[in-house]
């Protein structure tokens, strides 16, 4: 079984600098895949290699059934992928419509379909009314939307988005995110390079963390769970030594800490084990005010992994 994107030991060096080191990953068809990493981690280099914009130093990569090594395959890969670079790169003196029309022609979209796609995308992104205005007169957010429309003009099977919300205000970022969610519903495969952890967590089915080498890859939830124990916090009106001793005896509690009137418990499966914990506390005379779960954020995971990767 082959993924839509498959890489094996993909490496890219620039003189003595290794930008991407032995990257092996698989992205399935229909998946929204997030690529996280600090500046200079090799995210853009990876995307450029996968879009056949630059070559590799060693390793292999395929998009669908096409290899990035072969010149004739590269044209087919470029035809099947949509690419939003970090810099939108629109023709400022040309109208929004003309910008899309130009790319539609280069992607070999027949004229009736091209017209239909331009109208649909511009309407969907709320810039149809300004289709005849020069792109240079657009705000940053509108330019970004137009660039996304450009990447989608040929209905690509695979979409590469390099920092799609970088430098956008919160409202424009939300519009772009909402649009990606719409695309996700259409079952498109989307590969997102981002610094925005919240965005990655909300949009992506799986996340890879890159720091030249692949540090981790999993679903956001699994990444959080794999690195930090799940914690249950029990808020009480007061905590006694007997109560702590009673809870400590429970095998489901891996670790116990107190903070003011809170018991902080490491429990692997709180859904299953919390009722027993609550019964034990009540039996030991504890007055429970409420019970909450403390989850580690993707930011915690990301920072921990990147720190570990830096020290290796």
Partner 1 sequence: MRLWKSWIVTRKDLSVFRKNKYVLYSLIAMPIILGVVLPIIFIFALNTQITSGELPREQVLAAVNQIVGLATMYFVLIPAILPSIIASYSFVGEKIEKSLEPLLATPTTDGELLLGKSLASFIPCMVVTYVGAAISAIIIDFWSITTPQIATIIIPNPYWLLVIGAIAPLACIMSVEANIIVSSKVNDIRAAQQLGGLVVLPLIFVVIFASTSAQLSTILALAVIIALAIADIALFYLSKATFQREEILTKWK
Q: Which residues does 309 contact at the CB level (< 8 Å), separation at least 6?
A: 209, 211, 213, 215
Of 79 and 235, the one with the shorter C-beta distance to partner 1 is: 79
Of 151 and 265, the one with the shorter C-beta distance to partner 1 is: 151
Q: How far is the CB of 51 from partner 1 (least distance, A)?
A: 5
C-alpha 25/C-alpha 50 separation (Å) is: 12
Local structure of residue 240 (DSSP, 8 states) = -
> Could you tell me if 194 and 165 are in contact, meaning their C-beta atoms sit under 8 angstroms apart?
yes
C-alpha 23/C-alpha 3 separation (Å) is: 15
Of 56 and 230, the one with the shorter C-beta distance to partner 1 is: 56
C-alpha 33/C-alpha 37 separation (Å) is: 13
Of 103 and 302, the one with the shorter C-beta distance to partner 1 is: 103
Q: How many CB atoms lie within 10 A of CB 213?
A: 17
Q: How far is the CB of 97 from partner 1 (least distance, A)?
A: 12
Q: How far is the CB of 258 from partner 1 (least distance, A)?
A: 55
Of 130 and 202, the one with the shorter C-beta distance to partner 1 is: 130
Q: How far is the CB of 214 from partner 1 (least distance, A)?
A: 22
Q: How far is the CB of 215 from partner 1 (least distance, A)?
A: 24
Q: Which of 63, 84, 82 is nearest to 74 (CA)?
A: 63
Which residue ranges make up the site for partner 1 (CB under 8 A)?
Answer: 14, 48, 51, 53-55, 75-76, 78-79, 81, 83, 85, 87-94, 98, 102-103, 105-108, 134, 147, 150-151
């Amino acid at each position: 079984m082959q993924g839509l994107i498959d890489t094996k030991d993909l490496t890219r060096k620039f003189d003595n600098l290794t930008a991407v080191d032995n990257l092996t990953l698989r992205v399935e068809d229909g998946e929204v895949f997030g690529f996280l990493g600090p500046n200079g981690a090799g995210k853009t280099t990876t995307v450029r290699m996968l879009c056949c914009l630059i070559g590799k130093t060693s390793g292999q990569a395929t998009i669908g059934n096409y290899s990035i090594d072969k010149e004739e395959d590269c044209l087919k890969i470029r035809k099947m992928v949509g690419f939003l670079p970090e810099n939108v790169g629109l023709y400022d003196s040309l109208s929004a419509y003309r910008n899309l029309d130009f790319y539609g022609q280069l992607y070999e979209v027949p004229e009736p379909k091209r017209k239909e796609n331009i109208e649909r995308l511009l309407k969907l992104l709320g810039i149809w009314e300004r289709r005849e205005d020069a792109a240079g007169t657009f705000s940053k957010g509108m330019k970004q939307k137009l660039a996304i429309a450009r990447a989608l003009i040929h209905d690509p099977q695979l979409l590469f988005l390099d920092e799609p919300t970088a430098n956008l205000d919160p409202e424009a970022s939300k519009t772009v995110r909402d649009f990606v969610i719409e695309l996700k519903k259409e079952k498109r495969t989307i590969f997102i390079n981002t610094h925005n952890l919240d965005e990655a967590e909300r949009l992506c089915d799986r996340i890879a963390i890159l720091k030249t080498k692949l540090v981790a890859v999993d679903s956001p939830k699994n990444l959080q769970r794999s690195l930090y124990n799940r914690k249950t916090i029990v808020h009480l009106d007061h905590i006694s030594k007997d109560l702590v001793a009673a809870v400590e005896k429970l095998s489901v509690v891996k670790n116990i800490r107190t903070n003011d009137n809170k018991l902080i418990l490491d429990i692997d499966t709180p859904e299953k084990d919390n009722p027993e914990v609550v019964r034990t506390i009540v039996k030991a005379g504890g007055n429970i005010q409420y019970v909450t779960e403390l989850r580690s954020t993707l930011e915690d995971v990301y920072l921990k992994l990147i720190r570990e990767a830096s020290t290796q």
